[in-house]
């Protein structure tokens, strides 16, 4: 791949930057995605933008934790700028972040997170002030209650403090940033009275405050863990039922409290500890009554959602992330093969994966597929990198011809990487198509939105239904039908992007934990 060509993952990142921050930020971001570490003076020359526009774009991306800087290896007095690829990609997951926080905590925490996402980086006082401003419109909650909500988010690691200037930073041309581990989630004292006073005065900005130098941002790694856990809980609920999903959610919380989230295998948790957690959770009497049955079903299930690691304390249970995400990745690949090539190709693919190595004749006999069809599907899977071949030579004579055996097998990490690239490509195509449809029909959609807003306002004013119907008829039925079609297509594309992102998370998690095994 040329260094000037964006890969599918980088194309998705570039599209997200264009969508959320505009064309100039998108241009600077695309250049950094292509070229990696770059100095400030390199960017205007390559993008055709002025130095002022480039500085503003970099400032916006640094504020939103999308770009980092460090001293150049060639010249310590000059900074180099680098895109934080994962943080850029996480822009697509912001709606999931907000929904997750609202489900776990409530509306106030959701507003706090939304404000912090909009600001990129901000002090606790600033986030609380802007959130209180938003909530005061509905006369909900006080700044002190919001401060408690902010502490809950920090305590559970959903938000994290940004590094501050190092002690020797003033001596360097390019400052370095650092933060101690114990300070990452420590919430400082916040002066509530000045915030309340500014709210009463209807101020739009907080001004100076005591914690203005302690800056917070969203902790993407913590949200990744939570999204990963949601996938596992949903898998448990699909394989058994919602009660099993609830039990699995409780066990995941116990594992998270006792284990390193990046470890391939969690610390074992005993039967008694799990049962105590279920007793404290009063929401499901059925779960407590049938606890032993649900736990046995989960650890005996072939999906590997729970492994039994010992018998002490009534039984020790842990989670092998590598194993469970391998099973989930295989299920995703099976679904893709079924959709693209049909059930017979799926049978061949699954059989080869289970048996490790198989010859062509063996594959068609065991799968009970006619030879011609078996060869056709095998070559299709081979062509699209779902199967790999290994050649074995038999015979050591210098005179007799050497006989070769062709064995088919599934190199799972390689297949997952290929599928991951295809998922990025599909996600990018869905985003581009959605943007194209909305841009092409922007005037029609704005006209429809204005009409709907006007009709709602008239209904609120008590205007007779006849007049409202007459006004509604000013837009032709053909245009209304087209608007409905555009909205339906946009909703389907949004759903497709969400499903593609879930598949990407599963495949990325498999590769991440697989690499830790090696």
Summary mean pLDDT of the chain: 87
Tell me the pLDDT band of 221, cut-offs 50, 70 and 90.
very high
Write the pLDDT tens digit of every residue in 139-158: 556 788 889 999 999 999 99
Q: Residue 199, CB half-sphere, CA atoms under 13 Å: how many?
A: 23
pLDDT tens by residue, 331-383: 999 999 999 999 999 999 999 999 888 888 888 888 888 888 889 999 999 99
Indicate whether 398 pLDDT > 70. no
Q: What are the angstrom distances between the C-alpha of 32 and each of 18, 92, 281? A: 14, 19, 49
Q: Give the SS3 label for residue 440.
A: helix
463 phi and psi, to 5 degrees?
-70, 140
pLDDT interval class at 415 (50, 70, 90) = very high
Q: Which of 232-241, 273-282, 301-310 reaches the highest mean pLDDT?
A: 232-241
* 463-474 pLDDT tens trace: 787 777 878 778
Q: Is pLDDT of 480 > 70?
A: yes
SS3 73: coil
pLDDT at 424 over 50: yes
| Range 469-495 average pLDDT | 88
Q: What is the pLDDT of residues 15-72, one digit of tens each?
A: 999 999 999 999 999 999 998 889 998 999 999 999 999 999 999 999 999 999 988 8
In this prediction, residue 359 carries a pLDDT of: 85
pLDDT in the model for residue 418: 94
Is pLDDT of 136 > 60? yes
276 pLDDT above the threshold of 80: yes
pTM beyond 0.85: the answer is: yes
Concatenated DSSP letters for 411-429? -HHHHHHHHHHHHHHHHHH
**Nearest-CA neighbor of 190 among 112, 129, 116, 121?**
129
Is 50 exceeded by the pLDDT of residue 165?
yes
pLDDT-based confidence at residue 307 (cuts at 50, 70, 90):
confident
Q: pLDDT-based confidence at 402, cuts 50/70/90?
A: low
Q: What pLDDT is attached to residue 141?
A: 61
Could you give all domains of the chain from N- to C-terminal order, each with its CATH number? 8-85 (1.10.10.10), 92-218 (1.10.10.10), 223-319 (1.10.10.10), 324-394+403-410 (1.10.10.10), 415-515 (no CATH)
Q: Percentage of the chain with pLDDT > 90? A: 45
Whether 445 contacts 486, CB under 8 Å: yes
Structure tokens at 515: 């690499």
């Amino acid at each position: 791949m040329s260094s000037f060509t964006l890969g599918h993952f980088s194309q998705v990142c570039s599209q997200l930057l264009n969508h959320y921050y505009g064309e100039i930020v998108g241009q600077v971001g695309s250049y950094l995605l292509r070229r990696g570490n770059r100095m400030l003076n390199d960017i205007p020359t390559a993008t055709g933008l002025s130095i002022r526009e480039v500085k503003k774009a970099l400032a916006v991306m640094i504020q939103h934790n999308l770009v980092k800087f460090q001293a150049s290896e060639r010249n310590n007095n000059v900074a180099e700028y680098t895109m934080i690829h994962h943080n850029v990609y996480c822009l697509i997951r912001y709606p999931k972040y907000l929904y997750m926080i609202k489900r776990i905590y409530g509306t106030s925490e959701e507003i706090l997170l939304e404000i912090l996402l909009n600001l990129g980086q901000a002090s606790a006082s600033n986030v609380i002030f802007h959130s209180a401003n938003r909530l005061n419109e509905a006369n909900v909650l006080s700044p002190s209650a919001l401060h408690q909500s902010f502490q809950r988010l920090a305590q559970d690691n959903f938000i994290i403090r940004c590094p501050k200037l190092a002690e020797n930073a003033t001596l360097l041309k390019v400052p370095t940033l650092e933060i101690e581990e114990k300070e990452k989630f420590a919430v400082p004292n916040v002066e509530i009275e000045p915030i309340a006073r500014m709210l009463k005065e209807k101020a739009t900005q907080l001004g100076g405050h005591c914690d203005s130098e302690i800056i917070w941002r969203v902790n993407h790694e913590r949200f990744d863990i939570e999204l990963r856990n949601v996938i596992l809980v949903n898998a448990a609920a699909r394989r058994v039922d919602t009660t099993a999903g609830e039990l699995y959610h409780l066990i995941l919380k116990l594992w998270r409290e006792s284990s390193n989230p990046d470890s391939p295998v969690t610390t074992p948790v005993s039967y008694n500890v799990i049962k105590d957690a279920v007793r404290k959770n009063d929401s499901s009497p059925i779960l407590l009554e049938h606890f032993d049955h649900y736990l046995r079903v989960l650890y005996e299930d072939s999906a590997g959602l729970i492994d039994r690691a010992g018998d002490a304390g009534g039984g020790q249970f842990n989670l092998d992330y590598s194993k469970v995400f391998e099973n989930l990745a295989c299920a995703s690949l099976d679904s893709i093969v079924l959709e693209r090539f049909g059930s017979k190709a799926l049978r061949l693919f699954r059989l080869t994966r289970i048996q490790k190595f198989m010859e062509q004749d063996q594959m068609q006999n065991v799968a009970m597929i006619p030879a011609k069809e078996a060869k056709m599907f095998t070559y299709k899977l081979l062509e699209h990198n779902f199967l790999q071949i290994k050649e074995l030579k038999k015979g050591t004579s210098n005179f007799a011809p050497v006989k070769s055996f062709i064995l088919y097998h599934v190199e799972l990490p390689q297949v997952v990487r290929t599928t991951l690239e295809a998922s990025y490509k599909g996600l990018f195509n869905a985003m581009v198509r959605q943007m194209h449809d909305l841009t092409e029909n922007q005037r029609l959609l704005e006209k429809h939105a204005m009409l709907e807003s006007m009709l709602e306002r008239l209904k609120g004013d008590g205007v007779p239904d006849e007049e409202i119907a007459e006004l509604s008829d000013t837009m032709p039925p053909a245009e209304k039908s087209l608007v409905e079609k555009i909205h339906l297509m946009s909703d389907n594309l949004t759903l497709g992007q969400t499903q593609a992102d879930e598949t990407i998370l599963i495949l990325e998690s498999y590769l991440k934990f697989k690499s830790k095994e090696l």
